[in-house]
Amino acid sequence: MNKRTTLADVAERAGLSKTAVSLVLNNRPGSRLSADAVARIHEAARELNYRPNPQARSLRLGTTGTVGFISDDVTVTRFASAMIRGLLDAADESDRGVLIAETFNHPKQLRKALDSMADRQVDGLIFGALSARLIDLPPLPDGIRTVTVNCVNPDVPVAVLPDEEQAGYAVTRHLLHAGHRDGIAIIGNAPIARTDPKVSVTIGRRFDGIHRALSEAGVAPIAVADIEKWEPWNGYDAAKGVLASGAPVTALLCLNDRVAFGAQQAMQEKGLRIPDDLSVASFDDDQIAAYMRPGLTTARLPYLEMGRRALELLLDPAPSPGEHLVEMPLQVRGSIRSAS
């Protein structure tokens, strides 16, 4: 077994005292060392592959250098796992470790994960969710910093959420700029998701953005199809009904990509092509959006950016309380044609 490199080893290689090396490698002020001496210390540490002893650092600084991430289904969902990547990237840049636990929406698992994180004395906790909703949490340990990402809880003052209002506005404006004014059908109106925070705290804002853009343009949707759950089979049924109505539809504004996929099947049954016969726009940028032919124009849920932002806020000594909104960038592909 290789012997762990110590501060004394680095000091001997650099030709300086152990105290000087400790001050420099732990970023502590007051070393008064020359730039050349500081450079020699860092070079010696690199050559010897020096790594701080986490237990010693914890005792000295009162921190463990680790944070905890507890989520419902994020780690096992390919679509949302980018949140983990963003969090880990930011953790690596700040020299932090991350402990991850998945609860699968089970209260007992949540309590167990929280106790485990507390036992390991993490420096802070991030709670994440697959869908942006109000989550229930057990009593949190006193004095521990917490942030929620893609979810909210009244006991956690800092939350990171997607900017759904901006996304609804941007997608609708994109259709309007392409000349689709009087022929836009909304597929996926979801009354429950708009009013029940346990289902979503952001979907209502997506609709607000859509209707703001339509109102500014002085137009109204030619048809609105309600859908209880945004799944392909419901998108298929809803789009089929709209197309069968005979309304002069020029574009389908689907409320997520799975709905859009189902709508595409309904169009194909009627011999309609995207975008030659009907344009289609959507939200989320699920993997299916890029696989569709032509590719689907959609607003991307910024899971990676939200994960990164959540860790940055957790490490911020004085983060602003409230919501921190992350832009949902528009992914323009080939599903919209000009109707002008």
Q: How many domains does the chain have?
A: 3
C-beta separation of 169 from 112 below 8 A = no
Spatial separation of the C-alpha atoms in residues 241 and 222, rounded to whole Å = 13
What span, in angstroms and rounded, lies between the C-alpha atoms of 331 and 284?
A: 10
Q: Does residue 182 sit in the same domain as residue 132? A: no
Token pair in block for residue 84:
């983990």
Q: Is residue 58 part of a domain?
A: no
Q: How confident is the model at residue 54 (pLDDT cuts 50, 70, 90)?
A: low
Are 336 and 175 in contact by the 8 Å Cβ rule? The answer is yes
**Cβ neighbours of residue 87 under 8 Å, at least 6 residues apart?**
69, 98, 126, 307, 308, 310, 311
Domain identity same for 27 and 111: no
Residue 44, pLDDT > 60, answer: yes
Answer whether residue 111 is part of any domain: yes
* Domain-embedded: residue 1: no
Same domain, 23 and 75: no
Report the chain's mean pLDDT, rounded to a whole number: 89
Task: Give the per-residue pLDDT at 59.
Answer: 41
Q: Does a structural domain hold residue 106? A: yes
124 has pLDDT over 80: yes
Tokens 């592959």, located at residue: 49
- Residue 193 sits in the same domain as residue 261: yes
Same-domain pairing of 309 and 276: no
Q: Are residues 231 and 148 in the same domain?
A: no
pLDDT for 29 equals 62
274: which DSSP letter?
A: T
pLDDT band at 1 (very low <50, low <70, confident <90, very high): very low
**How much is the average pLDDT of 91-115?**
90
Residues 6+ apart with CB under 8 A from 213: 168, 169, 172, 173, 176
Token readout for 274 is: 């995207």
The residue that leads in pLDDT, 18 or 324, is 324
Q: What is the mean pLDDT of residues 324-339?
A: 95
Q: Has residue 339 been placed in a domain? A: no
The domain spanning residue 243 has which CATH number?
Answer: 3.40.50.2300
Sign of CA dihedral 148, 153, 159, 161: positive
**Residue 264 clears pLDDT 70, i.e. is over it:** yes
Mean pLDDT of 303-308: 96
Question: Are 175 and 243 in the same domain?
Answer: yes
Residue 73 lies in a domain: yes
Maximum distance among all alpha carbons in the chain?
A: 85
The answer on 76 and 41 residing in a single domain is no
What is the per-residue pLDDT for 154?
A: 95
Please check the confidence at residue 51 and state whether its pLDDT lies above 80: no
Q: What's the whole-number mean pLDDT along residues 66-72?
A: 92
Distance (Å, whole) CA 299 – CA 327: 9
Residue 27 has pLDDT above 80, yes or no: no
The answer to whether residue 97 sits within a structural domain is yes
Q: Please check whether residues 280 and 293 belong to one and the same domain.
A: yes
- CATH number, domain containing residue 42: 1.10.260
Nearest-angstrom CA–CA distance, 228 and 290: 25
List CB contacts of 130: < 8 A, sequence separation 6 or more.
Answer: 71, 72, 73, 74, 77, 80, 150
The band of 223, judged by pLDDT with boundaries at 50, 70 and 90, is: very high
Tell me the residue range of the domain where 122 lies.
66-161+303-324
Q: Does residue 139 sit in the same domain as residue 22? A: no
Cα 1 to Cα 4, 52, 251: the distances in Å are: 9, 18, 66
Span 204-211, mean pLDDT? 96
